[in-house]
Amino acid sequence: VCSKEWVIRQYDHEVQGGSVLKPLVGRDNDGPGDAAIIKPVLDSKMGVIVANGINPGYGEIDPYWMAASAIDEALRQIIAVGGSLERVALLDNFCWGNTSRPEMLGALVRAAQACYDMAIAFKTPFISGKDSLNNEFHYQGKTISIPHTLLISALSVMQDTAQAVSMDFKRAGGLIYIVGATNNELGGSEYYKRHGFIGNSVPKVSPKSAKELMERLSTASNKGLVRACHDCSDGGIGVALAEMAFAGGLGAKVYLKSVPLGEPIERDDFILFSESNSRFLVEVAAENKDEFEKIMAGVRIANIGQVNGSEMLEIYGVAGGRVVAAPTGELKEAWQRPIRW
């Protein structure tokens, strides 16, 4: 979890002036955008959304849910920037070990089965793909094999690029909603890696409920009710909140006791860093509260806090005490430092 700005800036992401939403967004154009939007035809309202999903850490536990999670992530990113699921196509890029070994081939079959199941459920066809198999190296009697890895790319047609939404907090007073339920799903998560664990509670996907949730959020976004939106992926709610705050140069107060849970979770850190799929953080203007909640009725959402002008991220735990109080400048520095080359 860190800024990839050094890498991104090496490449042309202006696309001859046709980029509507760039990889880096926010007040200082250095926040992590969810997806990019370009206009291939400059005098048209229409655009193309390009999004990705990947998490090889989940593959150590179950390649099926790794693949399903990558698809869910790519689709979340399309929704987060104001897109819809109506015209989406997927591409796969498999990188795998030696598939002559039964366990490697079995893992590949599990991932491919998830691709099939999710494509059917979300009605998002695969139109192309690429594979790089047998990525193993033998040295001094040891075999080194790459992790099971699947990159999912998603392309979507956007009817009106004026409806694009970025992930940075926009204005003090905005209401912060979480869309989607949080479960005790930290297997393969960034939080567990930080503590030297792998775990086994890998995030799963319920495509039927995920599709309904995404379609409702897309409707709210198209009606202009969404000021900012960010999907919860690596690092969960905690990382997503920090990114939205420092990208917008604003602060926030958030209350974990208001987060909708799919199962009982007593630990604040598990709620903060669970990587459950199909979740978004959304900023909504106070005057749009009722209309937003009406559109989202029937799916799990909750108002968990509010944006403010303090440039301080404060998070209060389930028991009511403050568990995080961090200046957004420090959060941004911690996020940018690892790959500041």
Which sequence spans correspond to the domains of the chain? 5-339
- Interatomic CA distance for residues 228 and 192, integer angstroms: 28
Q: State the pTM of this model.
A: 0.96
pLDDT of residue 15: 66
| pLDDT for residue 198 | 94
The residue type of 99 is T
Contact assessment for residue 111 and residue 120, using Cβ atoms and an 8 Å cutoff = no
Q: Divide the 341 residues of the chain into consecutive groups of 10 and give the mean pLDDT of each group.
A: 89 78 95 96 96 96 98 99 97 95 96 98 97 90 93 98 98 99 98 96 97 98 98 98 98 98 97 98 99 98 98 98 98 94 76
CB atoms near residue 336 (< 10 Å): 15
Task: Sheet with 126-132: list strands edge to edge.
Answer: 19-21, 36-38, 47-53, 149-158, 88-95, 126-132
| Structural tokens at position 325 | 């109080």
What integer pLDDT is reported at residue 127 of this predicted model? 97
pLDDT at res. 13? 67
Report DSSP letters for 210-249, one per residue.
Answer: HHHHHHHHHHHHHTT--SEEEE--TTHHHHHHHHHHHHHT
Report the alpha-carbon distance of residue 238 to residue 242 in Å, rounded. 6
Residue 21 tokens read as: 């939403």
Q: Are strands 251-255 and 312-316 parallel, antiparallel or unpaired?
A: parallel
Domain 5-339 annotated CATH 3.90.650.10: yes
CA 293 to CA 215: how far, in whole Å? 14
